[in-house]
Amino acid sequence: MKVKTKFPAPTGVHFYAEVRQRVNADFDSRNLSVHANGLMWFKTFIFLSLFATLYLTIILSGFNGITLTILTLMLGVVCAFIGFNICHDAIHGSFSANKQTNKALSLLFHLVGASPYVWNITHNIVHHTYTNIPGHDEDIEIAPGLIRICPEDKLESHQRFQHWYAFPLYGLASLSWVLRKDFKKFFQQNIGSRANIHPKIEYFNLFFYKFLYYGLFIALPMVVMDLQWWQVLIGFVLLHLAQGVTMGLVFQLAHVVEGTTFPSPNASGNMEEAWAEHQMRTTANFATQSPMAAFFLGGLNRQIEHHLFPKICHVHYGRIAVIVKQTALEYGIPYHENTTFTSALVSHYRMLKKLGRPAVV
């Protein structure tokens, strides 16, 4: 059994207490809620409308060939945006002050083929606590044996090419998620050091919603559309390739870039730094000046603010980032940031290339 990892308690006047006080004071002075505002509800309407329009057009319009392919790829990208913008906040409880609203919106995660219950465990509980810690944060276990993201992992000879083949493999992430990952995570004994014990209703929910999804995206198109079964399956794969590439790149650019670290606990399970400082060393922002990134990526391009304040809706991250960055500088704590998507992508590429080769002593 894995030793439970523990972070030391911060002492004195520390970074996290100070940054929380400043952020809370900012919301109070502006008389603002930390939850969704008009922009957030507008985005929700836009992405759900796009989803419904694309889905119904695909299965009912009679389009085929290149037009159908483009629509399918677009639907895959929109599914990723729904996950980023709506479900992610809802499952964190940051979308609304009303728990029932968050619960209802979190169910939309099933529309992208994923279980909100399993995501809450793997992401909210484990990843957000043990970010980038080998053997605990399973989010850094991407195609084990094929892609080496953590320096602690064994280096395989074929991984010297991973900076080339990793990106196409990211496209398979969503397909793996909808067909395999949720089942594997649900039934494995532990996730990190956390014992996997589930309420009985969640066994029903896992299978019911998965098969409902398969019905909507495989069975119903086979019945309604004038296509062969294999053509529908090709469309299903294309949808998830688009969804997977979109998701994979966004997630990797936040934690696996130059500057971020992969610290390990000592033999007793103790980490060297307090939790908030650990988050600052293992997390990075990107495309922080891009209005498009802010609109489409659901705050995932501002992972530093998200990891420190997961209960604040992502539409506020741009404003509080000024406070977080200034406070980090005052306390001598790193604030990792790639100002553009391209620079983050290049940094991730260089990181993959470095990790695919023996360490230079």
List, for residues 171-210, the tens digit of each pLDDT value.
898 999 999 999 999 998 887 777 788 999 999 999 999 9
Q: How confident is the model at residue 2 (pLDDT cuts 50, 70, 90)?
A: low
First to last CA, the chain: 33
Residue 124 Cα to chain centre, angstroms: 10
Average pLDDT of span 102-121: 95
Query: Which residues does 298 contact at the CB level (< 8 Å), separation at least 6?
Result: 81, 83, 84, 85, 86, 88, 89, 314
pTM of the shown model: 0.93
Q: How many CA atoms lie within 13 A of 5 on its CB side?
A: 25
Please indicate whether residue 316 or residue 189 has the higher confidence score (pLDDT).
316
Which residue, chain included where needed, has tokens 């894995």? 2
Is the predicted pLDDT of residue 360 greater than 60, yes or no? no
**What is the percentage of the chain residues whose pLDDT exceeds 90?**
79
Task: Mention every residue, 6+ apart, whose C-beta is less than 8 A from residue 249.
Answer: 167, 170, 345
CA 336 – CA 313 distance, rounded (Å): 21
pLDDT score, position 3: 66
Domain ranges of the chain: 15-355
| Rounded Cα–Cα distance for residues 103 and 270 (Å) | 35
| Residue-wise pLDDT tens digits, 18-49 | 999 999 999 999 999 999 999 999 999 999 99
